[in-house]
Chain A
Amino acid sequence: MALLASQTLSLDLNVLDYGILAVYFALVVTIGLLAKRAIATSEDFFLSGRSLPAWVTGIAFVSANLGAIEILGMAANGAQYGMSTVHFYWIGAVPAMVFLGLVMMPFYYGSGVRSVPEYLRRRFNRPTHLFNALTFATSSVLIAGVNLFALGIVLQATLGWPLWAAIVVSALFVLVYITLGGLSGAIYNEVLQFFIIIAGLIPILVVGLKSVGGWSGLEKAVAKTDLGANSFSTWQGTGIPWSNALGDWVGIVFGLGFVLSFGYWTTNFAEVQRALSAKDMNAAQRTPLIGAFPKIFIPFLTIIPGLVALALVPKLGKSDSLPYNDAIPLMMNQLLPNGALGIAMAGLLAAFMAGMAANVSSFNTVFTYDIWQEYIRPGRPDGYYLRVGRVVTVLGVLIGIVTAFIASGYGNIMEYIQMLFSFFNAPLFATFIIAMFWKRVSPMSGIAGLAAGTAGAAAFHFWAFNLSYFYPGGVIDPAHATINAQMVNFYAAIMAFLVDAVVTVIVTYMGKPKPVEELAGLVWGIPDPSAPDPSTVPKPVWWQSPKLLGFGALALTAGLSLVFL
């Protein structure tokens, strides 16, 4: 039967598709080789010599987050939760990206820090710095490994490669282009990947919609599945008590939209690093703002194919052999002829490499500048740190490979470790926002607030198991299987934020503030005396205005939110 045959993931690639893939991978390595010529200093390697134009850093900003786990995962969420999944983009990303560009970037870029942990060292003290640098470096290599493992699984399912070969070969490609080309190699590849990923996803959307009979056909088909007719409304069931799969509006707006989103987009160095590599302040500010526009439209390329997959394969997600995560590869198999299939496959593999490379290229920077240079071997000439950076990149990829193999044997352990690191991320935004706007905040309150907030998130996670409110229908499941994990995650973030804020304020009043001259350029209202006079900086032309871009992105998001209310 044709229908049964098409439900396997094994893709029928022909010579044409392999040719498309070969050209793409040759170009990936070429970018690394060519970018190597532009590296003479450690800052060339770790921050592209702060020379890139805004359109490049802006696309890399969104692409660094457009890993394949994100694409496959959001299509899976689309099939599982329906249009509510757009909350991860319109509430859970765009406002934070605008805030980073308009409000926070002047502190990051203007103060000349080379990393997000370095900002914490200058604003607070070394313990705060070390706490953040270590947790960030560790979680980055682990996420790189998880990406690598997911890539291996997809190559195994679609091309029939052995898992170990898929892991090692793809890690080698990433290794080559970021060890040679540094951040420029990573960013240039991210920009290229962005266009290939989009080119691979658009045909799935177009052919998918046509084959279910257009938008109205999709609505009718999905209404017949378990997801139901409400799956096209984004806020349905988010009242209290909730029935939406993402929980109530408090968790979505404050937990996801405020704490988690702002924490990730404004303090995650894998993202901020892209803006720090921009050539001037205006380009740095525009980096997340330019990235916000594609981010607004990416859900149409992930969620709708997820819903189409549900309409065409109603058994999706109903059995272990057909998980929601297979939505995109299934649709590629079912809808794309050879040629388009090769492009989509190149896009998918590119996305896996993006997810890995962004993490390794931020890991090597934090490890070299913030751990090695700060605590282990300070005061060496610049060329020494450039060599260390290359060695650390190789080590980072190797740890990623080991992590991928651990994940293939002990999947549950990796899930627990990722949950552990989500506790460290939850309070970050509270510490940053208070420290940037209140000069009184004392050095010790940094580490105290972060540690307390992390503990708060962890404690809430375990407490929530016993709260009936977090179970659908308010009925506690003793095995905790039915608990709304997304909603617990959102509420734990709110808890982390509150605990961090309270502890930061208390510890601040117990200690002395930092001398004002040490805070120049790091805190609102204390300008850096050595910064260039604003009147001498040329005013950008009107379409380069950060305010115009930022408020334009917010208005567009608000408009689309009303359409899909």
Chain B
Amino acid sequence: MSNEESSTPESASSKLFDLRVLIGGLFTVYGVVLTIVGILASEAALAKAAGININLWMGLGMLALGVFFLFWWRLRPLQRDVPPSD
């Protein structure tokens, strides 16, 4: 039960989107791009990073994080807390 003034509109906070989709999408895209760049890495790029194929490793890491967020979002979608009826 709400006893607030009638002039106060209802909160629209339940319309807020789920951030996990955005993080998941961005990191998946970045991950795929960097992985491809890493596979095609030039000798100069490898030499600059002390012999580590840093783009490949970063790409795989970001891809893993992106996929994790997308899975989390799919497996446990947002549940709006329904207040107990009184």
On whether the beta carbons of A23 and B29 are closer than 8 Å, the reply is yes
Given contacts A41-B9, A49-B11, contact A340 B19 (CB under 8 A): no
B22 near A41: Cβ-Cβ < 8 Å: no
Q: A335-B49, A336-B49, A338-B45 are in contact. Are A184 and B37 (CB under 8 A)?
A: no
Interface residue from A40, A192, A381, A383 paired with B19 (Cβ < 8 Å): A192
A203 at the interface (CB under 8 A from B): yes
Q: Which of A161-206 contact B (CB under 8 A)?
A: 184, 188, 191-192, 195, 199, 202-203, 206
| B12, closest chain A residue (CB) | A40
Picked from A49, A184, A210, the residue with its CB within 8 Å of the CB of B52 is A210
* Contact flag A381-B8 (CB < 8 Å), given A27-B22, A51-B16: yes
A70 proximal to B (CB < 8 A): no
The answer to whether B49 and A38 touch across the interface, beta carbons within 8 angstroms, is no
Q: How large is the interface on A (under 10, 10 to 19, 20 to 34, 35 or more residues)?
A: 35 or more
A199 touches B58 (CB 8 A): yes
A48 interfacial by beta-carbon distance below 8 Å: yes
Contact (Cβ within 8 A) B17 A340: no
A279–B52 contact, CB under 8 A? Answer: no
Q: How far is the CA of A343 from the CA of B62 in the complex (A)?
A: 11
Give the CA-CA distance A16 to B58 in the complex, in Å: 15
| CB pair A191 B37 closer than 8 Å | no
A211 contacts partner chain B, Cβ-Cβ < 8 Å: yes
Contact A38 B12 (CB under 8 A): yes
The answer to whether A48 and B58 touch across the interface, beta carbons within 8 angstroms, is: no
Interface of B is mostly: helix
A38 near B13 with CB under 8 A, answer yes
From B11, B44, B48, contact of A44 by CB (8 A): B11
B27 to A, closest residue via Cβ? A195
Which among A29-37, A61-69, A476-484 touches the partner chain?
Answer: A29-37
Q: How far is the CB of A370 from chain B (nearest CB, A)?
A: 19
Q: Chain A's nearest CB lies how many Å from the CB of B28?
A: 12
Q: Tell me if A336 and B54 are in contact (CB < 8 A).
A: yes
Question: When chains A and B are docked, how far (Å) is the Cα of A149 from the Cα of B86?
Answer: 54
Q: In angstroms, how far is the closest chain B Cβ from the Cβ of A208?
A: 8
Q: Are B26 and A184 in contact (CB under 8 A)?
A: no
Give chain B residues whose Cβ lies under 8 Å from the Cβ of A340.
34, 49, 54-55, 58
B67 contacts the other chain (Cβ, under 8 Å)?
A: no
Known: A337-B45, A337-B55, A343-B34. A35 touches B9 (CB 8 A): no
Contact of B49 among A188, A207, A279, A343 (CB under 8 A): A207
Cβ–Cβ contact A20 & B19, under 8 A: no
Q: A203-B57, A343-B62 are in contact. List 20 more A-B contacts (CB 8 A).
A: A16-B37, A38-B15, A38-B17, A39-B12, A41-B10, A43-B11, A49-B13, A192-B22, A192-B23, A203-B58, A206-B52, A207-B49, A335-B50, A337-B48, A337-B49, A338-B45, A339-B45, A340-B34, A343-B34, A381-B7
Q: List 10 A-B contacts (CB under 8 A).
A: A27-B26, A38-B17, A39-B12, A48-B13, A199-B30, A202-B58, A203-B54, A335-B49, A336-B49, A343-B30
A positions within 8 Å CB-CB of B: 16, 19-20, 23-24, 27, 30-31, 34-35, 37-41, 43-44, 48-52, 56, 184, 188, 191-192, 195, 199, 202-203, 206-207, 210-211, 279, 334-340, 343, 381-383
Which 5 interchain pairs have the tightest Cβ spacing? A49-B13, A337-B45, A40-B12, A211-B50, A38-B16
